[in-house]
Chains A and B, each alone.
Chain A
Amino acid sequence: MDADILDEVLRAPDGQRGLLPLLQVVRGGGSAGRSVMSFALTVLAALVAAAPVVYLSGSSVGEAVTALLDGSLGSPRAITETLLQLTPLLLAGLAVAVAFHAGLFNIGVEGQLVVGGLVSAVVAGSLAVPDLLRLPVSLLAGVLAGAVWVLVPALLKAIRGVHEVVTTIMLNYVAFALSQYLVSPTGPLVSPTQPSATERVPDSARLPIIWDDSRLHAGFLLALAVTVVIAWLLYRTPAGFRLRLVGANPGAARAHGISVARTTIAAMLLSGGLAGLAGAVEVLGLYGRYYDAFSPGYGFEAIAVALLGQLTPIGTLAAAGFFAVLGAGSIQLQAVAGISRELIAVVSGLVVAFVAARPAAERLAEGVSRRRAAR
């Protein structure tokens, strides 16, 4: 029922709309069939547009696809590696999606992810808590760190109307510089045995391995559970409705007595917390310590994940799966077909470009069909 209200609100004119009518950008227009179609078309278009790089690398599309699928889905081991890549992409993608739902573009997910990972490693390694509590406390520390890192942009947006894109970008670079310093040779957190990393965290802080002879850890299950929780929160709770209403039409939300400022802050903190969790899961699950540059840009790829997934949790899961296949397969792609891993960034960029251009393309198509009908 609330979907109808939202659609109504989306159509209503409002002078005070946020900078980004993002929901209109991304909302495919309702039916599941159309959403799947749109997902598939976007992926296809991005892959086709990236094909010239494959040819320039002296490979063929057939060889590239074979290497990609073989490296990501070809064996049980490959599948666990793919799920391993899916985990941070899903969490970070949800972080981006939640903010988008509130009409906010959190482009600082990468920085929040780095800070979340770092803080979770430090807490896991230094806090005096019973072994049983070490893992949950460390994960929570990562969540809180990510949320704290986005607090200033959230407050500036809510109180002074400062565009969150600029502030979160700035904080990305502060996060990179700070974390780099902390584990630099003279930094206070660097491990004596491992350069550019913190000390290994105790085993009791590690997310357990859930598949024998693989690196796949419980963070994957945690990410799936979080996806369900976010879906419930967004679509089944009053708080989620408020969040989406503020994103769809802040003026209408205000008229209904919803505090836009408070909702904006809450959405940003939730987004930052999810990003921090993504970092914490990588550190406590995969690596067991914080490494400088442990993220190959998951926070940026997450923008493509969320947009490709049309901001729904289930769509984000599917999109994270797609990019995880690319990510896990890219090692094989490089080894067999000689294609750089950077192709993933190209594909994610193209996905984002197509999503940005889509509403207009649809408008054009509508105009054409209307004109044809008029004739």
Chain B
Amino acid sequence: MIDLLSVAVLLSGIHLAVPLLYPTLGGLLCERAGVMNIGLEGMMLAGAFAGVVASYATGSPWAGIVAAVLAGALSGFGLAVITVTVGGDQVVAATAVNLVGAGLTAALVPVVWGVDGASPPVPQVPALVIPGLSGLPVVGAIFADLTVIDYGAGLLALAVWWFVFKTQAGLRLRACGENPEAADAAGVPVNRVRFAAVVASGALAGLGGAYLSLVTVGLFQAGMTQGRGYLALAALVFGKWRVGPAFVACLAFGLAAAVALRSQVIDIAVPYELLLALPYLLALVALATFVGRASAPAAIGRPFRRS
């Protein structure tokens, strides 16, 4: 059992949690503003792909990160145009984002690299060495391996929490998700706020995708997000659309996956595939028990039009 909770497992847990955290925070912004976003998966793939293309083309992983954020924002822009500007159905439109995101990135792999399935290795984001921290006993190994994007996830969670729950702008954003009519009456430009929130969720999901391709493995592979965009939805459900609990849910999912990976190595009786299904099952249990109707933003899924 000790072997299952070593520093290495902790580190791999962080590496598995961070790519969940970005889309979860993006989804939180978007859904708090009243737009249901099941398109995070497609947005992540857009980011993962664009990041690798840019890193491949320029040799700089940072260019890749920028490209990933832009590509994610672009997919968010597409979703926002359909759901906010023209008031189309949110779930149907987000399904389109997922289908196009998965299909287009996979179809473009042979176009860019001439091979099917996966890109060649590209320059990765280097670890951020903070003097002092990586020299610490035991936990130093963790700090020695983290990148600025890992630290950024923690800071971003804090920033999103502060923004959504402690600022006037955040209050307006939540008003758009709870009662857009009242927000509108109070002078909040509901659809502009929603549009911005959807684009921001795309940018963050794109960054989460780039984490997978530019930090974790250093290449793009078709379908490499493996449902993490949906897992982020589960984290939102668990966290009842609040930052702290959703953050904890992401960490828990990451650690669970790390333990699952580890248990495969040291041959424990529970099959790896079943452990991977666990977060989804737990999300279902949560929905069936303690996450009630009242948890989700009240106006989620409803296009806003002035009557």
Instruction: Spell out A's residues near B (CB within 8 Å).
Output: 19-22, 25, 53, 56-57, 105, 107, 152, 156, 160-163, 165-167, 169-174, 176-178, 180-181, 184, 186-187, 300, 303-304, 307, 338-340, 342-350, 352-353, 355-361, 363-364
Docked pose: A357 CA to B100 CA in angstroms: 15
Interfacial chain B residues near A357, Cβ < 8 Å: 81-82, 86, 88, 93
Q: Could you say which of B98, B107, B277 contacts A178, with CB atoms under 8 Å apart? A: B277
Q: Could you say which of A166, A177, A361 contacts B86, with CB atoms under 8 Å apart? A: A361
Q: Nearest A residue to B92 by beta-carbon distance?
A: A356
Query: Does residue B184 face the partner (Cβ distance < 8 Å to A)?
Result: no
Q: Does A57 contact B111, Cβ atoms closer than 8 Å?
A: yes
Q: Could you say which of A167, A187, A355 contacts B92, with CB atoms under 8 Å apart? A: A355
Q: Does B92 contact A343, Cβ atoms closer than 8 Å?
A: no
Query: Does residue B165 face the partner (Cβ distance < 8 Å to A)?
Result: no
Interface residues of B, dominant DSSP = helix
Q: Nearest A residue to B275 by beta-carbon distance?
A: A177
Considering the complex of A and B, which 6 residue pairs feature the smallest CB-CB distances, nearest first? A345-B103, A349-B99, A360-B86, A349-B100, A353-B96, A177-B277
Q: Does A22 contact B92, Cβ atoms closer than 8 Å?
A: yes
User: Given contacts A160-B288, A170-B280, could you give 11 more A-B pairs where the C-beta distance is less than 8 Å?
Assistant: A22-B92, A105-B92, A163-B296, A171-B284, A174-B284, A300-B95, A303-B99, A342-B102, A344-B103, A345-B103, A356-B82
Q: Does A20 contact B91, Cβ atoms closer than 8 Å?
A: yes
Chain B 171-209 interface 0/1 with A at a Cβ cutoff of 8 Å (1 = within): 000000000000000000000000000000000000000
Query: Does residue B222 face the partner (Cβ distance < 8 Å to A)?
Result: yes
Interfacial chain A residues near B227, Cβ < 8 Å: 172-173, 176
Query: Does residue B274 face the partner (Cβ distance < 8 Å to A)?
Result: yes
Stretch at the interface among B6-14, B153-161, B230-238, B242-250: B230-238
Q: Nearest A residue to B271 by beta-carbon distance?
A: A181
Docked pose: A231 CA to B93 CA in angstroms: 27
Q: Could you say which of A166, A174, A348 contacts B103, with CB atoms under 8 Å apart? A: A348
A-B contact number at CB 8 A: 184
13 chain-A/chain-B pairs, Cβ below 8 angstroms: A20-B91, A56-B111, A160-B293, A161-B293, A170-B280, A186-B271, A349-B99, A349-B100, A353-B78, A358-B88, A360-B82, A363-B86, A364-B86
Q: Does B103 contact A349, Cβ atoms closer than 8 Å?
A: yes
Interfacial chain A residues near B231, Cβ < 8 Å: 173
Interfacial chain A residues near B83, Cβ < 8 Å: 356
Q: Does A19 contact B100, Cβ atoms closer than 8 Å?
A: no
Query: Does residue B283 face the partner (Cβ distance < 8 Å to A)?
Result: yes
Q: Could you say which of A172, A173, A181, A303 contacts B95, with CB atoms under 8 Å apart? A: A303
Docked pose: A174 CA to B92 CA in angstroms: 22
Q: Does B274 contact A181, Cβ atoms closer than 8 Å?
A: yes
Docked pose: A178 CA to B111 CA in angstroms: 34
Docked pose: A357 CA to B102 CA in angstroms: 20
Q: Does B274 contact A178, Cβ atoms closer than 8 Å?
A: yes
Query: Does residue B281 face the partner (Cβ distance < 8 Å to A)?
Result: yes
Interfacial chain B residues near A344, Cβ < 8 Å: 103
Q: Nearest A residue to B112 by beta-carbon distance?
A: A56
Docked pose: A143 CA to B287 CA in angstroms: 26
Q: Does B222 contact A342, Cβ atoms closer than 8 Å?
A: yes
Q: Which of B82-131 contact A (CB under 8 A)?
A: 82-83, 85-89, 91-93, 95-104, 106-111, 116
Q: Nearest B residue to A58 by beta-carbon distance?
A: B111
Interfacial chain B residues near A364, Cβ < 8 Å: 86
Q: Which of B281-307 contact A (CB under 8 A)?
A: 281, 283-284, 287-288, 292-293, 296, 300-302
The total of chain B residues at the interface (CB under 8 A) is 56
Q: Could you say which of B87, B95, B98, B273 contacts A360, with CB atoms under 8 Å apart? A: B87
Q: Nearest A residue to B300 by beta-carbon distance?
A: A19
Q: Does A19 contact B302, Cβ atoms closer than 8 Å?
A: yes
Docked pose: A167 CA to B283 CA in angstroms: 8
Q: Does A353 contact B93, Cβ atoms closer than 8 Å?
A: yes
Q: Does A152 contact B110, Cβ atoms closer than 8 Å?
A: no
Query: Does residue B38 face the partner (Cβ distance < 8 Å to A)?
Result: yes
Interfacial chain B residues near A303, Cβ < 8 Å: 92, 95, 99
Contact A345 B230, CB 8 Å, known A57-B110, A160-B288, A170-B284: no
Docked pose: A214 CA to B165 CA in angstroms: 63
Contact A345 B110, CB 8 Å, known A170-B230, A352-B99: no
**Minimum CB–CB distance for B124 against chain A, Å:** 25
Interfacial chain B residues near A169, Cβ < 8 Å: 38, 230, 233
Q: Does A177 contact B273, Cβ atoms closer than 8 Å?
A: yes
Contact A343 B38, CB 8 Å, known A170-B234, A181-B273, A181-B274: no
Query: Does residue B141 face the partner (Cβ distance < 8 Å to A)?
Result: no
Q: Nearest A residue to B234 by beta-carbon distance?
A: A170
Docked pose: A345 CA to B99 CA in angstroms: 6
**Minimum CB–CB distance for A185 against chain B, Å:** 11
**Minimum CB–CB distance for B238 against chain A, Å:** 11
Docked pose: A56 CA to B300 CA in angstroms: 38
Query: Does residue B276 face the partner (Cβ distance < 8 Å to A)?
Result: yes
Contact A105 B91, CB 8 Å, known A53-B104, A173-B280, A181-B271: yes
